[in-house]
């Protein structure tokens, strides 16, 4: 085991016994949602994983230690600290470890630490991708590169249209990452069930997801798999409302010269503010929905 990794006792025991475990990220807690909803949601997501037969392992960096499985106090701490905790991507782990610092893990670093711990299914809300205007800014999330090289299944609700969804799919195709639609042929756009872009394969059950992931492993591929699970119809947002909020947030980010790692947290926070919290409720619902699919798939993988 990696000398910098701490696996929580419950997670360690489940892994040792070949029981299902699902990884969860912490940037969604610190940077993706406001306090106290972020903490409530993180705990509710863990509960949903349990109700669906798996053990949750929320991942973060605390005091320079890579943590797979957090205590309630640690989740509370990350939620309260919010954007004061560093958003930790791949390039940040060496510095955080060397300095004994804290970090909220993105999809990228959650995949890295999950894989180190031996966890192969991970549930979140949305992934990073190719940003709009990337042809000049070159802003492409490290999440896509990680999906290309780390063997973890990521269950999300697609990606927000703060991104260029078409270019994001092109990038994933180039890097050989299968994009699966769970019960859909279309890539979901996070707050809404469809984006107008097709996925590579439609899959309708956790059994089928497990079979594809197992085949990917047995083929010797190094990369992961992206499962996109649409938000339940009753919680989906009105497309015109969410599109207007996203356009406004993007405009402000350009005007204010927001760039680099700040771009995504800025856009996420502005969209929540501009929609008066409606988008936050949708966000919470879709994460819970993803947690259930991930847990059921992790159970299948253990059979
Ligand atoms: N998209 C969301 N919610 C999130 C994120 C993205 O809808 O919370 C977070 C995730 O942690 C993701 C990260 O891995 O932002 C991507 O950041 P960037 O675009 O800077 O790579
Ligand atoms: Mn970026």
Find the angle CA(104)-CA(43)-CA(81) to the nearest 5 degrees: 35
**Mean local confidence (pLDDT), 20-28:** 98
CA-CA-CA-CA dihedral for 225, 227, 228, 231, to nearest 10: -150
Whether the predicted pLDDT of 91 surpasses 90? yes
Q: pTM here?
A: 0.98
The atom number, within ligand 1, closest to the CA of 104 reads 11
**Mean local confidence (pLDDT), 70-80:** 98
pLDDT of residue 1: 84
Residues marked as catalytic: 25, 160
The neighbourhood of ligand 2, an ion, using CB within 5 A, equals 139
Tell me how far the alpha carbon of residue 2 lies from the centroid of ligand 1, in angstroms. Answer: 26
Find the angle CA(77)-CA(78)-CA(80) to the nearest 5 degrees: 65
The ligand with the least distance to the CA atom of 188 is 1
Whole-number Å distance between alpha carbons of 213 and 153: 7
CB 48 within 8 A of CB 88: no
pLDDT single digits (tens) 171-219: 999 999 999 999 999 999 999 999 999 999 999 999 999 999 999 999 9
Q: Where are the alpha helices (DSSP H) in 83-218?
A: 93-99, 107-117, 134-137, 142-149, 165-174, 206-218
- Contact residues of ligand 1, CB 6 A cut-off: 25, 27-28, 32, 106-108, 125-128, 141-143, 160, 190, 261, 264, 268
41: Cβ contacts below 8 Å, ≥ 6 apart: 29, 33, 284, 287
Whole-number Å distance between alpha carbons of 250 and 264: 10
Whole-number Å distance between alpha carbons of 235 and 231: 7
Residue 40: other Cβ atoms inside 10 A: 13
């Amino acid at each position: 085991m990696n000398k910098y990794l701490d696996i929580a006792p419950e997670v360690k025991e489940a892994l040792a016994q070949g029981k299902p475990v699902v990884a969860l990220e912490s940037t969604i807690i610190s940077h993706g949602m406001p306090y106290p909803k972020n903490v409530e949601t993180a705990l509710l997501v863990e509960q949903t994983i349990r109700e669906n037969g798996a053990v949750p392992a929320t991942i973060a960096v605390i005091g320079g230690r890579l943590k797979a499985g957090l205590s309630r106090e640690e989740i509370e701490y990350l939620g309260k600290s919010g954007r004061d905790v560093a958003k930790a991507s791949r390039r940040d782990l060496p510095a955080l470890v060397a300095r004994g610092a804290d970090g909220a893990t993105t999809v990228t670093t959650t995949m890295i630490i999950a894989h180190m711990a031996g966890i192969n299914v991970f549930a979140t809300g949305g992934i990073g991708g190719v940003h709009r205007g990337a042809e000049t800014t070159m802003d492409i999330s490290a999440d896509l590169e990680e999906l290309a090289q780390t063997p973890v299944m990521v269950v999300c609700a697609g990606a927000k249209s703060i991104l260029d969804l078409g270019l994001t799919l092109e990038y994933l195709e180039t890097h050989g990452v299968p994009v699966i639609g769970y019960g859909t042929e279309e890539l979901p756009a996070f707050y809404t069930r469809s984006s107008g872009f097709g996925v590579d394969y439609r899959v309708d059950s956790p059994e089928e997801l497990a079979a594809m992931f197992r085949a990917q492993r047995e083929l010797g591929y190094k990369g992961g798999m992206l499962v996109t699970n649409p938000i339940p119809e009753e919680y989906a947002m009105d497309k015109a409302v969410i599109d207007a909020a996203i356009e406004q947030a993007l405009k402000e980010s350009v005007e204010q010269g927001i760039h680099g790692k700040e771009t995504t947290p800025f856009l996420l926070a502005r969209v929540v503010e501009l929609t008066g919290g409606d988008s936050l409720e949708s966000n919470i619902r879709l994460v819970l929905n993803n947690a259930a699919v991930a847990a059921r798939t992790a159970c299948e993988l253990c059979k």
